[in-house]
Amino acid sequence: MVFIYIERKENMKEKTVFQMNVEEVLEKHQTSLKGLSSAEAKKRLEENGPNALAEGKKRSLFARLLDQFKDFMVIVLILAAVVAFAGAIIQNKPEELTEGLLIIAIVIINAILGVAQESKAEQALESIKKMSNPHTTVLRDGQEIIIDVADVVVGDIVVLHAGDYIPADIRIIESINLKTDESALTGEPIPVEKNIDSISQDEVALGDRFNIGYMSTVVTYGRGLAVVTSTGMQTEIGKIATMLSTTETELTPLQKTISKLGKTLAIIALFVVTIIFIIQILRGWFTVGVENIAWIEIFMSSIALAVAAIPEGLPAIITIVLAIGMQNLVKQRAIMRTLPAVETLGSTSIICSDKTGTLTQNVMTITETYLYDSTTKVTDIVNPTKELKMLIDYGVLCNDTKVQLSDEKKYIKIGDPTEIALTDLSIATHDNPIKVLETYPRVHELPFDSERKLMTTVHEIDGKYVSITKGAPDVLFAKATHVNNHGSIEKVTPAIIDTFTQQNQDFADQALRVLAIAYKVYEQKPEVLQLTHDDLENDLTILGLVGMIDPARPEVKDAIIETKNAGIITIMITGDHKNTAVAIATDLGILEQGHLAITGKELDRMSDEEFLEKLPQIRVYARVSPENKVRIVTAWKTTGKIVAMTGDGVNDAPSIKRADIGIAMGITGTEVAKGAADMILTDDNFATIVSAVKEGRTILSNIKKAIHFLLSCNIGEIITIFLGVTIGILLFPNEPQLQILTAAQILWVNLVTDSFMAIALGLEPKEPDVMNQPPRDNSKGVFADGLGKKVAWQGVLIGFITFLAFYIGYLIGDEGNKLQHAQTIGFMVLAISQLFHAFNVRSEKHSTFKLQPNKFLIYAFFGCLVLQLTTVFVPFIANNIFGVDDVLHWQWLDWLVVVGLSVTPLVVVELVKFIQNRCSNKLA
């Protein structure tokens, strides 16, 4: 009895999904071959949550705020504040507490700005991430719809095609030569063949479950249907997913460069500040004696100068500029997946573009048909002959296009543009493709693949079984033994093949894509047919050819001209016939006199040395393989060029990944291509790539402007103090402890002019000639092309006029108040001159008055100006915090000095630009 009980218990053991047959799987998950209803899917999504892996816990606002205080210079500032507080207490001077309070206030304001910038960048990246989420096709209410992978629920019927990501763990219920790449989960590099049969064993390794598909793996071949059995964290990937407590943000190459630059500048600045500190101490020693040296004031001003000399806010500013740039790119229909890609985009020098859908409209239209010795324009077809009707119908049958009628009685077609064109031919000749498909059902198929260049389907037609093969004419001609000569079946001869080959060439010369259609009739029943490639795709009867065209996008010609002006080379890479590619490339201006067009086979025959020698002249590659594409990208990269590569299919993924900027098509692109890409085009348009490059160049240019502005202003502050402690000894012998600016004044200027004006410069509109410059050379440093010299002399200019303002203020000040009057004028000139200087930085060669207005810079200018004036006009702030003169009793001469010297940098730089442009025009 015990034995029988145990045996029954084992028999009652619930089957696993891979052990169930199709009917049992559907019943278990309460679904059907028509899929779930929309209402049921919504209910399950609410109950079980989205189909997504759990993300690591994000850092709290408080934690991110604390991070802002880990910076070395911020720590120095806090220590300076502590010293200021201690000094005020030791000296019993409560009024001097305000200086320490100001430093703390500045630290807090900077921290808040940093968190705000990080949050904005994070929000931008999250919005981009949502927009680039993968999609999948499912059956809902009996109809195919495309949804976000996150909306997939258990019981959904998923439609699978080559190139699709598998959105969840699934049980295969229909397989047409279906294969998947499970290397991401199992490490097995060879694609796994899938079928619908149940597995009897209890314990089966993941890699041996041939009826199961796994989340995040890829369909590499064939097509099929599957029912979703697990989602999110319940999937096999979910079970082994690593739980991250924090999300690491990758620094861009430019951010790393700036971080390294900041450390270098910190060392230099601290060295200079130390020298200034020593000079001030020695000066006090010899003039007032050691006991009377204002140690705390000198120390505080030195610390403030050190902080002001280092652009500690630059990394945060770069992050927010890049993030805002990503958002701007989205508006231009280009989704960037990472911040580093935005940088690289601006340096692009080679664009390797697919033809179909990117340079053209991706709306294939059949314009010509050919039966043996007879060409007919589609527009002339009224009453098609039997053979022509046969050609049209066979094009519909050997076709994976999904055709439905909408409520408005319009055809809805989902599929490959080439196959849709065959369906459109049926509609254009007043046929009904849906009726054709229903009348002659498909009983077997061999899907198209890039190696065979053929597709074959088998149908029951008039009591016989007919295999229909369509594909590349040259491949199909080689497999034909007969030809349908207007109803008469004749053996193929070399002359007949020559006739078809010549017609294929004639169509190609007209930039038409050509497909050949052939067939084979079987008397046997399907069960005895050997449905293999060798049997189905040999001994064929040629029926005819169709010629179709995908017209160029009207905006592409202008975009190609723009790339030429920008020093960017456009390369066309296509699977089309060479003559078709040449015709389109010539029309668009890609292929010009002296350029070459080659095929993939010709490329295969070239050695690496020969290929590199001819590389600059080759502008068109036709009939290429995936390996060819990778080789082309690699060759250009070895020359030091920044390469962008477009693609949409599974076979494009390796070259997309290899390129500096991989670009996937958002409409026609497979999820594999999108996953490998750095940028996704939501409109599949080449012109969008050019717009994105323009935006990328603008972003890089604006970051350089922020660097230019911050460093020149910081140099100005150092020069001001340096002149005060060196030349000041000679000019102001009666001021033994002379300070050009107080610590509070230095810190305030650094706060007011740095962040707001630099961010505003990061939002500068495109310069008019941004696409008339050669691509940026990534090997050059930040200060290349004269930027370092401009930063240096403009910084010296700001420092000199500030010191001059101090000197004039001292001369015209009243006796007994000369030093405070001079400090106030110097303080005002240093701050306001930097605000005006921001307008100089808008362009290295164009006058700021001829550029498109930057409303953000104007708002920042007036906002900062009001803040600066507040420091001198509000008595409490002026007297207790900044210790400035009473400006309400100033004479007109005082204001003339402030205004005149503050605008001097703008006047001088504008004059230099004018002279340089005049000289350049004369040389040109």
- Provide the 10 A C-beta neighbour count for residue 494: 8
Nearest to 263 by CA among 317, 312, 302: 312
CA angle 560, 562, 564 (to 5 degrees): 75
Contact 53, 236 (CB under 8 A): no
Residue (of 628, 673, 668, 627) closest to 650 by Cα position? 673
Sign of CA dihedral 909, 911, 912, 913: positive
Catalytic site includes residue 777: no
780-799 burial, b for 16+ CB within 10 Å, e for fewer? eebbeeebeebbeebbbbbb
838: DSSP letter? H
- Cβ atoms of 681 and 333 closer than 8 Å: yes
Q: List, in order, residues 6 or more apart from 494 with CB less than 8 Å away.
A: none
Of 71, 164, 169, 354, the active-site residue reads 354
Q: Which are the contacts of 822, defined by CB distance < 8 A and separation ≥ 6?
A: 806, 807, 809, 810, 813
Q: Nearest CA to 543 among 494, 496, 495?
A: 496
Q: Which amino acid is at 181?
A: D
Count of all residues that appear for the chain in the document: 924
Max CA distance (Å), the chain: 119
Note whether 663 and 677 are within 8 A (CB): yes
CA distance 671 to 689: 19
CB 528 within 8 A of CB 598: no
Number of neighbouring beta carbons within 10 Å of residue 111: 18
User: How many CA atoms within 13 Å lie on the side-chain side of 819?
Assistant: 15
CB 855 within 8 A of CB 918: no
Tokens of 620: 């068109």
CA 389 to CA 364: how far, in whole Å? Answer: 20
Tell me the DSSP string of 883-918. ----GGG--HHHHHHHHHHHTHHHHHHHHHHHHHHH
State the CB neighbour count (10 A cutoff) for residue 87. 20
Q: Which residues contact 908 (CB under 8 A, 6 or more apart)?
A: 797
Query: Cα dist. 104→316, 400, 863, 914 in Å?
Result: 20, 68, 22, 44
Q: How far is 416 from 400, CA to CA, in rounded Å?
A: 8
> Whose CA is closest to 647, among 571, 708, 548, 725?
571
DSSP conformational letter for 207: G
Tokens of 428: 């254009």
CA dihedral 839, 842, 847, 849 (to 10 degrees): -60
Which residues are identified as catalytic?
A: 354
